[in-house]
Structure 1
Amino acid sequence: MSEKYVQARSTDGRKDLRYPAAPEPLAVPVYDNHAHLEITDGVEPLTLKEQLDRAAEVGIAGVVQASGDIESSRWAVDAAASDSRVLAAVAIHPNDAPAYASEGRLDEAIAVIDELAAHPRTRAIGETGLDYFRTDEPGRPEQHESFEAHIALAKKHGIAMQIHDRDAHDDVLETLRRVGAPERTVFHCFSGDEQMARIAGDAGYYLSFAGNVTFKNAQNLRDALAVTPRDRILVETDAPFLTPAPLRGRPNAPYLVPITVRFMAAELGMDVDELSTQLAVNTLAVYGEFSD
Protein backbone atom coordinates (compact mmCIF):
# COMPACT_ATOMS: atom_id res chain seq x y z
CA MET A 1 0.00 0.00 0.00
CA SER A 2 1.01 3.62 -0.33
CA GLU A 3 2.63 5.15 2.76
CA LYS A 4 2.49 8.69 1.36
CA TYR A 5 -0.32 9.83 3.66
CA VAL A 6 1.27 9.60 7.07
CA GLN A 7 0.90 12.09 9.89
CA ALA A 8 3.25 12.65 12.81
CA ARG A 9 1.87 13.15 16.28
CA SER A 10 3.25 16.11 18.22
CA THR A 11 5.67 15.00 20.91
CA ASP A 12 5.74 18.30 22.79
CA GLY A 13 5.85 17.90 26.54
CA ARG A 14 6.26 14.12 26.65
CA LYS A 15 9.38 12.75 28.35
CA ASP A 16 9.70 9.16 27.16
CA LEU A 17 8.99 8.73 23.48
CA ARG A 18 10.12 5.12 23.16
CA TYR A 19 7.61 2.35 22.56
CA PRO A 20 7.13 0.27 25.74
CA ALA A 21 8.13 -3.36 26.01
CA ALA A 22 5.54 -5.83 24.79
CA PRO A 23 3.18 -7.21 27.45
CA GLU A 24 2.57 -10.88 28.02
CA PRO A 25 0.63 -12.30 25.05
CA LEU A 26 -3.05 -13.10 25.37
CA ALA A 27 -3.88 -16.79 25.07
CA VAL A 28 -7.13 -16.00 23.26
CA PRO A 29 -6.71 -13.47 20.42
CA VAL A 30 -8.73 -10.24 20.45
CA TYR A 31 -9.05 -7.24 18.12
CA ASP A 32 -8.24 -3.55 18.44
CA ASN A 33 -11.60 -2.01 17.66
CA HIS A 34 -10.28 1.51 16.87
CA ALA A 35 -6.82 2.84 15.99
CA HIS A 36 -5.19 5.54 13.86
CA LEU A 37 -2.16 3.78 12.43
CA GLU A 38 -1.57 6.48 9.85
CA ILE A 39 -0.34 8.69 12.70
CA THR A 40 3.28 7.97 13.56
CA ASP A 41 4.52 8.57 17.07
CA GLY A 42 7.59 8.61 19.26
CA VAL A 43 11.24 8.34 18.33
CA GLU A 44 10.86 5.03 16.45
CA PRO A 45 7.85 5.36 14.10
CA LEU A 46 6.46 2.03 12.98
CA THR A 47 5.15 1.11 9.56
CA LEU A 48 1.72 -0.46 9.21
CA LYS A 49 3.26 -3.92 8.84
CA GLU A 50 5.46 -3.42 11.90
CA GLN A 51 2.44 -2.35 13.93
CA LEU A 52 0.43 -5.38 12.85
CA ASP A 53 3.31 -7.81 13.33
CA ARG A 54 3.94 -6.55 16.86
CA ALA A 55 0.26 -6.83 17.62
CA ALA A 56 0.07 -10.39 16.28
CA GLU A 57 2.93 -11.46 18.55
CA VAL A 58 0.84 -10.65 21.65
CA GLY A 59 -2.49 -12.03 20.48
CA ILE A 60 -4.05 -9.09 18.66
CA ALA A 61 -5.56 -10.64 15.55
CA GLY A 62 -6.66 -7.51 13.76
CA VAL A 63 -7.24 -3.76 13.87
CA VAL A 64 -10.10 -1.53 12.76
CA GLN A 65 -8.43 1.50 11.20
CA ALA A 66 -10.53 4.58 11.93
CA SER A 67 -10.59 7.83 9.96
CA GLY A 68 -11.39 11.51 10.31
CA ASP A 69 -11.09 13.14 6.90
CA ILE A 70 -10.95 12.29 3.21
CA GLU A 71 -7.23 11.52 3.19
CA SER A 72 -7.22 9.27 6.24
CA SER A 73 -10.35 7.49 4.99
CA ARG A 74 -8.63 6.67 1.73
CA TRP A 75 -5.57 5.52 3.67
CA ALA A 76 -7.75 3.25 5.80
CA VAL A 77 -9.31 1.55 2.78
CA ASP A 78 -5.90 1.18 1.16
CA ALA A 79 -4.54 -0.38 4.37
CA ALA A 80 -7.45 -2.78 4.67
CA ALA A 81 -7.11 -3.81 1.03
CA SER A 82 -3.40 -4.48 1.49
CA ASP A 83 -3.50 -6.54 4.70
CA SER A 84 -6.19 -8.96 5.90
CA ARG A 85 -5.51 -7.97 9.50
CA VAL A 86 -7.07 -4.54 8.89
CA LEU A 87 -10.65 -3.41 8.35
CA ALA A 88 -11.51 0.18 7.48
CA ALA A 89 -13.80 2.72 9.10
CA VAL A 90 -14.30 5.89 7.05
CA ALA A 91 -15.74 9.27 8.03
CA ILE A 92 -15.37 13.00 8.45
CA HIS A 93 -14.52 13.69 12.10
CA PRO A 94 -16.99 15.98 13.88
CA ASN A 95 -14.24 18.52 14.51
CA ASP A 96 -13.38 18.55 10.80
CA ALA A 97 -16.97 18.93 9.58
CA PRO A 98 -17.14 22.71 10.26
CA ALA A 99 -13.89 23.26 8.35
CA TYR A 100 -15.19 21.36 5.32
CA ALA A 101 -18.44 23.30 5.57
CA SER A 102 -16.65 26.66 5.71
CA GLU A 103 -14.90 25.75 2.46
CA GLY A 104 -18.20 24.70 0.89
CA ARG A 105 -16.95 21.09 0.69
CA LEU A 106 -18.92 19.18 3.32
CA ASP A 107 -21.36 17.64 0.83
CA GLU A 108 -18.46 16.71 -1.43
CA ALA A 109 -16.57 15.15 1.47
CA ILE A 110 -19.56 13.09 2.55
CA ALA A 111 -19.98 11.94 -1.06
CA VAL A 112 -16.38 10.65 -0.99
CA ILE A 113 -17.11 8.79 2.25
CA ASP A 114 -20.16 7.29 0.56
CA GLU A 115 -17.95 5.94 -2.24
CA LEU A 116 -15.34 4.57 0.17
CA ALA A 117 -18.04 2.94 2.31
CA ALA A 118 -18.94 0.71 -0.63
CA HIS A 119 -15.54 -1.00 -0.54
CA PRO A 120 -15.84 -4.57 0.78
CA ARG A 121 -13.07 -3.98 3.32
CA THR A 122 -14.89 -0.96 4.77
CA ARG A 123 -16.93 -2.27 7.68
CA ALA A 124 -17.82 0.92 9.56
CA ILE A 125 -18.59 4.59 9.26
CA GLY A 126 -16.35 6.28 11.78
CA GLU A 127 -15.46 8.19 13.57
CA THR A 128 -18.47 10.48 13.46
CA GLY A 129 -20.57 12.15 16.14
CA LEU A 130 -20.47 15.33 18.18
CA ASP A 131 -17.66 17.09 20.01
CA TYR A 132 -18.53 20.09 22.16
CA PHE A 133 -15.06 20.19 23.73
CA ARG A 134 -13.12 21.36 20.68
CA THR A 135 -15.95 22.85 18.60
CA ASP A 136 -17.77 25.90 19.93
CA GLU A 137 -21.42 26.78 19.34
CA PRO A 138 -20.98 28.38 15.87
CA GLY A 139 -19.65 25.13 14.37
CA ARG A 140 -22.11 22.74 15.97
CA PRO A 141 -24.88 22.89 13.34
CA GLU A 142 -22.38 21.54 10.80
CA GLN A 143 -21.43 18.77 13.23
CA HIS A 144 -25.08 17.78 13.55
CA GLU A 145 -25.54 17.88 9.77
CA SER A 146 -22.48 15.70 9.26
CA PHE A 147 -23.45 13.27 12.03
CA GLU A 148 -26.90 12.66 10.58
CA ALA A 149 -25.45 12.23 7.09
CA HIS A 150 -23.03 9.62 8.41
CA ILE A 151 -25.82 7.77 10.21
CA ALA A 152 -27.63 7.60 6.89
CA LEU A 153 -24.50 6.21 5.20
CA ALA A 154 -24.09 3.45 7.78
CA LYS A 155 -27.69 2.41 7.18
CA LYS A 156 -27.36 2.68 3.41
CA HIS A 157 -24.32 0.39 3.30
CA GLY A 158 -25.44 -1.90 6.10
CA ILE A 159 -22.26 -1.43 8.10
CA ALA A 160 -21.44 -0.42 11.67
CA MET A 161 -20.96 3.13 12.96
CA GLN A 162 -18.30 4.33 15.38
CA ILE A 163 -19.34 7.37 17.42
CA HIS A 164 -17.01 10.08 18.69
CA ASP A 165 -18.80 11.66 21.66
CA ARG A 166 -17.02 14.31 23.71
CA ASP A 167 -18.99 16.48 26.13
CA ALA A 168 -22.10 15.88 24.01
CA HIS A 169 -23.70 12.79 25.57
CA ASP A 170 -27.30 14.00 25.70
CA ASP A 171 -27.32 15.34 22.15
CA VAL A 172 -25.70 12.21 20.74
CA LEU A 173 -28.28 9.98 22.40
CA GLU A 174 -31.12 12.28 21.35
CA THR A 175 -29.95 12.25 17.73
CA LEU A 176 -29.79 8.46 17.69
CA ARG A 177 -33.31 8.23 19.13
CA ARG A 178 -34.70 10.82 16.73
CA VAL A 179 -33.24 9.60 13.44
CA GLY A 180 -32.74 5.95 14.39
CA ALA A 181 -29.37 4.36 15.06
CA PRO A 182 -27.68 1.93 12.68
CA GLU A 183 -28.12 -1.70 13.67
CA ARG A 184 -24.55 -1.87 14.98
CA THR A 185 -23.66 1.35 16.77
CA VAL A 186 -20.40 1.64 18.71
CA PHE A 187 -19.47 4.34 21.21
CA HIS A 188 -15.75 4.54 20.47
CA CYS A 189 -13.62 5.37 23.52
CA PHE A 190 -16.73 5.47 25.68
CA SER A 191 -16.57 8.55 27.90
CA GLY A 192 -19.89 8.51 29.74
CA ASP A 193 -20.87 7.27 33.17
CA GLU A 194 -22.84 4.39 34.64
CA GLN A 195 -26.20 5.95 33.80
CA MET A 196 -25.25 6.52 30.18
CA ALA A 197 -23.86 3.00 29.93
CA ARG A 198 -27.18 1.61 31.10
CA ILE A 199 -29.05 3.70 28.52
CA ALA A 200 -26.68 2.65 25.74
CA GLY A 201 -26.79 -1.00 26.79
CA ASP A 202 -30.58 -1.01 26.90
CA ALA A 203 -30.60 0.44 23.37
CA GLY A 204 -28.31 -2.34 22.12
CA TYR A 205 -25.32 -0.10 21.47
CA TYR A 206 -21.75 -1.34 21.85
CA LEU A 207 -19.37 0.40 24.28
CA SER A 208 -15.70 0.36 23.37
CA PHE A 209 -13.22 0.94 26.20
CA ALA A 210 -9.74 2.33 25.65
CA GLY A 211 -6.64 2.69 27.78
CA ASN A 212 -8.12 5.56 29.75
CA VAL A 213 -10.29 3.06 31.66
CA THR A 214 -7.05 2.35 33.57
CA PHE A 215 -6.48 5.99 34.59
CA LYS A 216 -6.83 6.82 38.30
CA ASN A 217 -9.29 9.66 37.58
CA ALA A 218 -11.57 7.51 35.39
CA GLN A 219 -13.83 5.87 37.96
CA ASN A 220 -16.80 6.85 35.79
CA LEU A 221 -15.49 4.55 33.05
CA ARG A 222 -14.98 1.65 35.42
CA ASP A 223 -18.50 2.15 36.76
CA ALA A 224 -19.78 2.16 33.18
CA LEU A 225 -17.84 -0.98 32.32
CA ALA A 226 -19.35 -2.79 35.31
CA VAL A 227 -22.93 -2.32 34.06
CA THR A 228 -22.34 -2.81 30.34
CA PRO A 229 -23.84 -6.06 29.01
CA ARG A 230 -21.01 -8.48 28.35
CA ASP A 231 -22.11 -8.98 24.75
CA ARG A 232 -21.81 -5.22 24.13
CA ILE A 233 -18.22 -4.65 25.36
CA LEU A 234 -15.37 -3.89 22.96
CA VAL A 235 -11.74 -2.89 23.50
CA GLU A 236 -9.57 -0.43 21.58
CA THR A 237 -6.39 1.61 21.77
CA ASP A 238 -7.30 4.83 19.91
CA ALA A 239 -3.57 4.61 19.13
CA PRO A 240 -1.38 6.55 19.23
CA PHE A 241 -3.43 8.17 22.00
CA LEU A 242 -4.62 7.01 25.47
CA THR A 243 -1.79 4.69 26.38
CA PRO A 244 -2.90 2.64 29.40
CA ALA A 245 -1.42 3.09 32.86
CA PRO A 246 1.30 2.78 33.98
CA LEU A 247 2.63 3.78 30.53
CA ARG A 248 0.55 6.93 30.12
CA GLY A 249 2.33 9.52 27.98
CA ARG A 250 4.34 7.03 25.96
CA PRO A 251 3.45 5.98 22.40
CA ASN A 252 0.40 3.74 22.17
CA ALA A 253 -0.09 0.91 19.68
CA PRO A 254 -2.31 -2.15 19.17
CA TYR A 255 0.26 -4.47 20.77
CA LEU A 256 -0.54 -2.81 24.14
CA VAL A 257 -4.19 -3.97 24.08
CA PRO A 258 -3.44 -6.88 26.46
CA ILE A 259 -2.76 -4.39 29.26
CA THR A 260 -6.25 -2.95 28.95
CA VAL A 261 -7.87 -6.37 28.52
CA ARG A 262 -6.28 -7.69 31.71
CA PHE A 263 -7.30 -4.56 33.62
CA MET A 264 -10.88 -4.89 32.37
CA ALA A 265 -10.98 -8.57 33.30
CA ALA A 266 -9.87 -7.75 36.85
CA GLU A 267 -12.49 -5.01 37.15
CA LEU A 268 -15.21 -7.37 35.95
CA GLY A 269 -14.05 -10.31 38.03
CA MET A 270 -13.64 -12.36 34.87
CA ASP A 271 -10.99 -14.78 33.72
CA VAL A 272 -8.81 -13.09 31.08
CA ASP A 273 -9.43 -15.86 28.55
CA GLU A 274 -13.17 -15.63 29.15
CA LEU A 275 -13.20 -11.88 28.55
CA SER A 276 -10.93 -12.23 25.52
CA THR A 277 -13.30 -14.76 23.99
CA GLN A 278 -16.26 -12.45 24.57
CA LEU A 279 -14.41 -9.44 23.12
CA ALA A 280 -13.50 -11.40 19.99
CA VAL A 281 -17.06 -12.63 19.50
CA ASN A 282 -18.40 -9.10 19.97
CA THR A 283 -15.93 -7.58 17.51
CA LEU A 284 -16.75 -10.07 14.79
CA ALA A 285 -20.48 -9.54 15.39
CA VAL A 286 -19.99 -5.83 14.71
CA TYR A 287 -17.56 -5.87 11.78
CA GLY A 288 -17.62 -9.38 10.33
CA GLU A 289 -14.65 -11.61 9.64
CA PHE A 290 -11.34 -9.90 8.93
CA SER A 291 -10.31 -12.49 6.34
CA ASP A 292 -13.39 -12.04 4.14
Structure 2
Amino acid sequence: MPDDPSTYVRHREKGSRDVTYPASPEPLPGPMYDNHCHLEIQDGPSTGSGGRGMTVEDQLARAAEVGIVGVVQAGGDIDSSRWSAQAAASHPRVLAAVAIHPNEAPAYAEAGRLEEAIGVIDELAAQPRVRAVGETGLDFFRTGAEGLPAQFESFEAHIGLAKKHGIAMQIHDRDAHDAVLETLRRVGAPDRTVFHCFSGDEQMARIAADCGYWLSFAGNITFKNAQNLRDALAVTPRERILVETDAPFLTPAPHRGRPNAPYLVPVTLRFMAAELGMDLAELCAQVAANTLEVYGSFDS
Protein backbone atom coordinates (compact mmCIF):
# COMPACT_ATOMS: atom_id res chain seq x y z
CA MET A 1 0.00 0.00 0.00
CA PRO A 2 1.29 3.54 -0.77
CA ASP A 3 1.82 4.62 2.84
CA ASP A 4 5.35 6.06 2.67
CA PRO A 5 5.08 9.87 3.03
CA SER A 6 7.84 10.29 0.45
CA THR A 7 5.52 8.79 -2.20
CA TYR A 8 2.62 11.17 -1.57
CA VAL A 9 1.52 13.36 -4.42
CA ARG A 10 1.40 16.68 -2.59
CA HIS A 11 2.22 18.40 0.68
CA ARG A 12 0.01 21.05 2.20
CA GLU A 13 1.73 24.36 2.80
CA LYS A 14 2.42 24.98 6.48
CA GLY A 15 2.37 28.80 6.53
CA SER A 16 1.78 30.15 10.02
CA ARG A 17 -0.79 27.50 10.96
CA ASP A 18 -0.65 25.29 14.01
CA VAL A 19 0.23 21.99 12.32
CA THR A 20 -0.16 19.74 15.35
CA TYR A 21 -2.96 17.19 15.12
CA PRO A 22 -5.88 17.69 17.55
CA ALA A 23 -6.52 15.15 20.29
CA SER A 24 -8.74 12.23 19.37
CA PRO A 25 -12.44 12.75 20.17
CA GLU A 26 -14.55 10.29 22.11
CA PRO A 27 -15.40 7.24 19.99
CA LEU A 28 -18.75 7.13 18.25
CA PRO A 29 -21.44 4.69 19.44
CA GLY A 30 -21.40 2.83 16.15
CA PRO A 31 -19.30 2.36 13.00
CA MET A 32 -18.99 5.34 10.67
CA TYR A 33 -17.30 6.28 7.38
CA ASP A 34 -15.47 9.32 6.04
CA ASN A 35 -17.17 9.81 2.70
CA HIS A 36 -14.45 12.08 1.23
CA CYS A 37 -10.80 12.65 2.14
CA HIS A 38 -7.41 13.26 0.53
CA LEU A 39 -4.92 11.06 2.33
CA GLU A 40 -2.33 11.62 -0.40
CA ILE A 41 -1.89 15.19 0.83
CA GLN A 42 0.53 15.28 3.73
CA ASP A 43 -0.03 17.75 6.55
CA GLY A 44 1.01 18.06 10.15
CA PRO A 45 4.39 18.27 11.87
CA SER A 46 7.63 17.17 10.23
CA THR A 47 8.20 13.41 10.44
CA GLY A 48 11.89 13.42 9.60
CA SER A 49 11.28 10.96 6.75
CA GLY A 50 10.81 13.43 3.94
CA GLY A 51 7.17 14.25 4.60
CA ARG A 52 4.84 15.66 7.23
CA GLY A 53 2.09 14.20 9.33
CA MET A 54 0.70 10.69 9.52
CA THR A 55 1.12 7.85 7.06
CA VAL A 56 -1.98 6.24 5.59
CA GLU A 57 -1.67 3.35 8.02
CA ASP A 58 -1.46 5.84 10.89
CA GLN A 59 -4.54 7.63 9.58
CA LEU A 60 -6.62 4.47 9.30
CA ALA A 61 -5.53 3.10 12.67
CA ARG A 62 -6.31 6.32 14.50
CA ALA A 63 -9.65 6.58 12.72
CA ALA A 64 -10.58 3.02 13.71
CA GLU A 65 -9.96 3.86 17.37
CA VAL A 66 -12.90 6.29 17.31
CA GLY A 67 -15.23 4.18 15.16
CA ILE A 68 -14.33 5.31 11.63
CA VAL A 69 -14.12 1.96 9.86
CA GLY A 70 -13.76 3.10 6.25
CA VAL A 71 -12.84 6.09 4.09
CA VAL A 72 -13.47 7.15 0.51
CA GLN A 73 -10.19 8.46 -0.86
CA ALA A 74 -10.77 11.05 -3.60
CA GLY A 75 -8.50 12.02 -6.47
CA GLY A 76 -8.38 15.27 -8.43
CA ASP A 77 -5.90 14.67 -11.24
CA ILE A 78 -4.24 11.74 -12.98
CA ASP A 79 -1.58 11.16 -10.33
CA SER A 80 -3.82 11.43 -7.26
CA SER A 81 -6.53 9.34 -8.93
CA ARG A 82 -4.04 6.57 -9.67
CA TRP A 83 -2.81 6.84 -6.10
CA SER A 84 -6.37 6.63 -4.79
CA ALA A 85 -7.18 3.55 -6.85
CA GLN A 86 -3.99 1.85 -5.66
CA ALA A 87 -4.75 2.69 -2.03
CA ALA A 88 -8.24 1.21 -2.36
CA ALA A 89 -6.92 -1.93 -4.02
CA SER A 90 -4.38 -2.32 -1.20
CA HIS A 91 -6.55 -1.86 1.87
CA PRO A 92 -10.03 -3.14 2.80
CA ARG A 93 -10.91 0.05 4.69
CA VAL A 94 -10.39 2.28 1.64
CA LEU A 95 -12.58 2.84 -1.40
CA ALA A 96 -11.64 5.28 -4.14
CA ALA A 97 -13.13 8.12 -6.13
CA VAL A 98 -11.26 9.22 -9.26
CA ALA A 99 -11.59 12.34 -11.41
CA ILE A 100 -10.06 15.43 -12.91
CA HIS A 101 -10.94 18.26 -10.51
CA PRO A 102 -12.72 21.20 -12.17
CA ASN A 103 -9.82 23.49 -11.34
CA GLU A 104 -7.41 21.07 -13.04
CA ALA A 105 -9.49 20.63 -16.20
CA PRO A 106 -8.44 23.96 -17.83
CA ALA A 107 -4.74 23.14 -17.43
CA TYR A 108 -5.22 19.73 -19.05
CA ALA A 109 -7.22 21.35 -21.85
CA GLU A 110 -4.60 24.03 -22.45
CA ALA A 111 -1.96 21.31 -22.73
CA GLY A 112 -4.17 19.39 -25.15
CA ARG A 113 -4.48 16.52 -22.68
CA LEU A 114 -8.03 16.74 -21.32
CA GLU A 115 -9.35 13.90 -23.49
CA GLU A 116 -6.35 11.77 -22.52
CA ALA A 117 -6.86 12.55 -18.82
CA ILE A 118 -10.53 11.62 -18.96
CA GLY A 119 -9.51 8.39 -20.66
CA VAL A 120 -7.27 7.56 -17.71
CA ILE A 121 -10.18 8.21 -15.33
CA ASP A 122 -12.33 5.92 -17.47
CA GLU A 123 -9.79 3.11 -17.06
CA LEU A 124 -9.45 3.65 -13.30
CA ALA A 125 -13.23 3.78 -12.82
CA ALA A 126 -13.46 0.21 -14.06
CA GLN A 127 -11.50 -1.11 -11.08
CA PRO A 128 -13.70 -2.93 -8.53
CA ARG A 129 -12.78 -0.80 -5.51
CA VAL A 130 -13.20 2.50 -7.34
CA ARG A 131 -16.76 3.32 -6.35
CA ALA A 132 -17.17 6.93 -7.45
CA VAL A 133 -16.21 9.44 -10.09
CA GLY A 134 -15.07 12.48 -8.18
CA GLU A 135 -14.41 15.02 -7.37
CA THR A 136 -15.79 16.60 -10.50
CA GLY A 137 -18.08 19.56 -11.05
CA LEU A 138 -17.76 23.31 -11.48
CA ASP A 139 -15.78 25.97 -9.65
CA PHE A 140 -16.45 29.60 -10.55
CA PHE A 141 -14.35 30.86 -7.62
CA ARG A 142 -10.85 29.83 -8.72
CA THR A 143 -11.30 29.51 -12.46
CA GLY A 144 -11.87 32.51 -14.71
CA ALA A 145 -14.20 32.72 -17.69
CA GLU A 146 -11.51 31.45 -20.07
CA GLY A 147 -11.37 28.13 -18.22
CA LEU A 148 -15.09 27.47 -17.93
CA PRO A 149 -15.56 25.66 -21.27
CA ALA A 150 -13.02 23.05 -20.16
CA GLN A 151 -14.78 22.71 -16.80
CA PHE A 152 -18.13 22.08 -18.45
CA GLU A 153 -16.61 19.63 -20.95
CA SER A 154 -14.89 17.74 -18.14
CA PHE A 155 -17.94 17.72 -15.87
CA GLU A 156 -20.23 16.35 -18.57
CA ALA A 157 -17.66 13.69 -19.48
CA HIS A 158 -17.38 12.63 -15.85
CA ILE A 159 -21.15 12.37 -15.55
CA GLY A 160 -21.03 10.01 -18.50
CA LEU A 161 -18.29 7.92 -16.87
CA ALA A 162 -20.24 7.51 -13.63
CA LYS A 163 -23.23 6.27 -15.61
CA LYS A 164 -21.09 4.03 -17.82
CA HIS A 165 -19.52 2.28 -14.85
CA GLY A 166 -22.62 2.33 -12.65
CA ILE A 167 -20.87 4.05 -9.76
CA ALA A 168 -21.53 7.15 -7.70
CA MET A 169 -20.42 10.69 -8.53
CA GLN A 170 -18.96 13.20 -6.07
CA ILE A 171 -19.56 16.83 -7.06
CA HIS A 172 -17.29 19.77 -6.29
CA ASP A 173 -19.49 22.88 -6.44
CA ARG A 174 -18.02 26.24 -5.55
CA ASP A 175 -19.94 29.41 -6.41
CA ALA A 176 -21.62 27.46 -9.22
CA HIS A 177 -24.83 26.13 -7.66
CA ASP A 178 -27.25 27.02 -10.46
CA ALA A 179 -24.90 25.87 -13.21
CA VAL A 180 -24.25 22.53 -11.50
CA LEU A 181 -27.94 21.84 -10.99
CA GLU A 182 -28.77 22.89 -14.56
CA THR A 183 -26.04 20.65 -15.97
CA LEU A 184 -27.31 17.68 -13.98
CA ARG A 185 -30.85 18.32 -15.27
CA ARG A 186 -29.71 18.76 -18.87
CA VAL A 187 -27.27 15.84 -19.05
CA GLY A 188 -29.01 13.56 -16.57
CA ALA A 189 -27.47 12.80 -13.20
CA PRO A 190 -26.06 9.41 -12.23
CA ASP A 191 -28.30 7.35 -9.94
CA ARG A 192 -26.06 8.11 -6.96
CA THR A 193 -25.01 11.74 -6.99
CA VAL A 194 -23.30 13.29 -3.97
CA PHE A 195 -22.66 16.96 -3.30
CA HIS A 196 -19.27 16.68 -1.63
CA CYS A 197 -18.71 19.34 1.04
CA PHE A 198 -22.18 20.76 0.39
CA SER A 199 -21.90 24.55 0.19
CA GLY A 200 -25.42 25.65 -0.68
CA ASP A 201 -28.29 26.92 1.40
CA GLU A 202 -31.70 25.68 2.54
CA GLN A 203 -33.32 26.26 -0.85
CA MET A 204 -30.61 24.36 -2.71
CA ALA A 205 -30.74 21.53 -0.18
CA ARG A 206 -34.46 21.13 -0.84
CA ILE A 207 -33.89 21.08 -4.61
CA ALA A 208 -31.05 18.56 -4.34
CA ALA A 209 -33.03 16.29 -2.04
CA ASP A 210 -36.05 16.44 -4.32
CA CYS A 211 -33.78 15.28 -7.15
CA GLY A 212 -32.61 12.34 -5.06
CA TYR A 213 -29.08 13.61 -4.48
CA TRP A 214 -27.07 13.05 -1.30
CA LEU A 215 -25.63 16.00 0.65
CA SER A 216 -22.29 15.48 2.34
CA PHE A 217 -21.45 17.81 5.22
CA ALA A 218 -17.89 18.59 6.29
CA GLY A 219 -16.26 20.33 9.24
CA ASN A 220 -17.14 23.78 7.94
CA ILE A 221 -20.72 23.24 9.14
CA THR A 222 -19.29 23.98 12.61
CA PHE A 223 -17.91 27.38 11.58
CA LYS A 224 -19.63 30.45 13.02
CA ASN A 225 -20.23 31.97 9.57
CA ALA A 226 -21.84 28.80 8.14
CA GLN A 227 -25.47 29.25 9.14
CA ASN A 228 -26.44 28.45 5.54
CA LEU A 229 -25.04 24.94 6.00
CA ARG A 230 -26.87 24.40 9.28
CA ASP A 231 -30.09 25.58 7.63
CA ALA A 232 -29.45 23.15 4.76
CA LEU A 233 -28.83 20.27 7.15
CA ALA A 234 -32.08 20.97 8.95
CA VAL A 235 -34.17 20.40 5.79
CA THR A 236 -32.20 17.50 4.32
CA PRO A 237 -34.00 14.16 4.61
CA ARG A 238 -32.10 11.94 7.02
CA GLU A 239 -31.65 9.27 4.36
CA ARG A 240 -29.79 11.81 2.17
CA ILE A 241 -27.17 12.92 4.74
CA LEU A 242 -23.50 11.97 4.50
CA VAL A 243 -20.48 13.16 6.50
CA GLU A 244 -16.89 13.79 5.45
CA THR A 245 -13.68 15.46 6.48
CA ASP A 246 -12.24 16.65 3.14
CA ALA A 247 -9.02 16.03 5.09
CA PRO A 248 -6.57 17.61 5.47
CA PHE A 249 -8.81 20.64 4.92
CA LEU A 250 -11.90 22.05 6.71
CA THR A 251 -10.99 20.91 10.22
CA PRO A 252 -14.06 21.36 12.44
CA ALA A 253 -14.23 23.89 15.26
CA PRO A 254 -12.66 24.25 17.75
CA HIS A 255 -9.65 22.98 15.76
CA ARG A 256 -10.14 25.09 12.63
CA GLY A 257 -6.92 25.59 10.68
CA ARG A 258 -5.09 22.61 12.14
CA PRO A 259 -4.55 19.39 10.16
CA ASN A 260 -7.72 17.43 9.53
CA ALA A 261 -7.97 13.63 9.36
CA PRO A 262 -10.67 10.93 9.27
CA TYR A 263 -10.42 10.39 13.04
CA LEU A 264 -12.07 13.83 13.48
CA VAL A 265 -15.35 12.78 11.81
CA PRO A 266 -16.94 12.31 15.29
CA VAL A 267 -16.50 16.03 16.01
CA THR A 268 -18.57 17.00 12.99
CA LEU A 269 -21.12 14.21 13.45
CA ARG A 270 -21.75 15.12 17.09
CA PHE A 271 -22.30 18.73 16.05
CA MET A 272 -24.76 17.59 13.37
CA ALA A 273 -26.67 15.42 15.84
CA ALA A 274 -27.00 18.35 18.21
CA GLU A 275 -28.21 20.62 15.41
CA LEU A 276 -30.81 18.05 14.36
CA GLY A 277 -31.84 17.22 17.91
CA MET A 278 -31.13 13.57 17.13
CA ASP A 279 -29.73 10.81 19.25
CA LEU A 280 -26.10 10.34 18.20
CA ALA A 281 -26.40 6.57 17.85
CA GLU A 282 -29.46 6.98 15.63
CA LEU A 283 -27.68 9.48 13.39
CA CYS A 284 -24.62 7.20 13.22
CA ALA A 285 -26.71 4.27 12.09
CA GLN A 286 -28.53 6.35 9.47
CA VAL A 287 -25.44 8.00 7.97
CA ALA A 288 -23.50 4.73 7.93
CA ALA A 289 -26.37 3.07 6.06
CA ASN A 290 -26.52 6.01 3.65
CA THR A 291 -22.79 5.67 2.94
CA LEU A 292 -23.04 1.98 2.16
CA GLU A 293 -26.05 2.63 -0.08
CA VAL A 294 -24.02 5.10 -2.12
CA TYR A 295 -20.68 3.28 -2.34
CA GLY A 296 -21.43 -0.35 -1.57
CA SER A 297 -19.67 -2.60 0.91
CA PHE A 298 -16.07 -2.01 1.91
CA ASP A 299 -15.70 -5.79 2.28
CA SER A 300 -15.97 -6.58 -1.41
Bin for the TM-score computed over the shorter chain:
over 0.9
Tell me what 2:33 maps to. 31
Residues 73 and 113 of structure 1 are in contact (CA less than 8 Å); yes or no, is this contact kept in structure 2?
yes
- 1:226-263 alpha-carbon deviations (Å, 9 max, x no partner): 00010000000000000000000110000000000000
2:272 is paired with a residue whose SS is: helix
| Structure 2 gaps, min length 5 | 47-52
In 2, the alpha carbon distance for the partners of 1:43 and 1:88 equals 26
Find the partner of 1:132 among 130, 140, 156.
140
Instruction: Give the partner amino acid of 1:7.
Output: R
Residues 8 and 42 of structure 2 are in contact (CA less than 8 Å); yes or no, is this contact kept in structure 1?
no
Q: Does 1:8 align with 2:11?
A: yes
When the two chains are superposed, the root-mean-square deviation of aligned CA atoms in Å is 0.7
1:130 is paired with a residue whose SS is: strand
Tell me what 2:297 maps to. 289
In 2, the alpha carbon distance for the partners of 1:33 and 1:9 equals 21
Find the partner of 1:99 among 87, 107, 128.
107
Give the superposition deviation at 1:284: 0.1
Residues 18 and 43 of structure 1 are in contact (CA less than 8 Å); yes or no, is this contact kept in structure 2?
yes
2:155 is paired with a residue whose SS is: helix
1:104 is paired with a residue whose SS is: coil
2:131 is paired with a residue whose SS is: strand
1:275 is paired with a residue whose SS is: helix
Which runs of structure 2 are paired with 1:153-168 in the superposition (5 Å)?
153-168=161-176
Find the partner of 1:260 among 262, 265, 268.
268
Give the superposition deviation at 1:6: 3.1
Find the partner of 1:273 among 264, 281, 284.
281
Residues 31 and 62 of structure 1 are in contact (CA less than 8 Å); yes or no, is this contact kept in structure 2?
yes
Residues 5 and 71 of structure 1 are in contact (CA less than 8 Å); yes or no, is this contact kept in structure 2?
no
Give the superposition deviation at 1:7: 1.4
| Structure 1 gaps, min length 5 | none
Per mean C-alpha deviation after superposition, the further-off stretch among 40-49 and 151-160 is 40-49
* TM score, norm. by length of structure 2: 0.96
Give the superposition deviation at 1:27: 1.3
In 1, the alpha carbon distance for the partners of 2:291 and 2:266 equals 15
**Ranges of 4+ aligned residues in structure 1 off by more than 3 Å:** none
In 1, the alpha carbon distance for the partners of 2:111 and 2:144 equals 18
Give the superposition deviation at 1:91: 0.1
In 2, the alpha carbon distance for the partners of 1:265 and 1:5 equals 34
* TM score, norm. by length of structure 1: 0.99
In 2, the alpha carbon distance for the partners of 1:255 and 1:76 equals 19
In 1, the alpha carbon distance for the partners of 2:180 and 2:15 equals 32
Q: Does 1:54 align with 2:57?
A: no
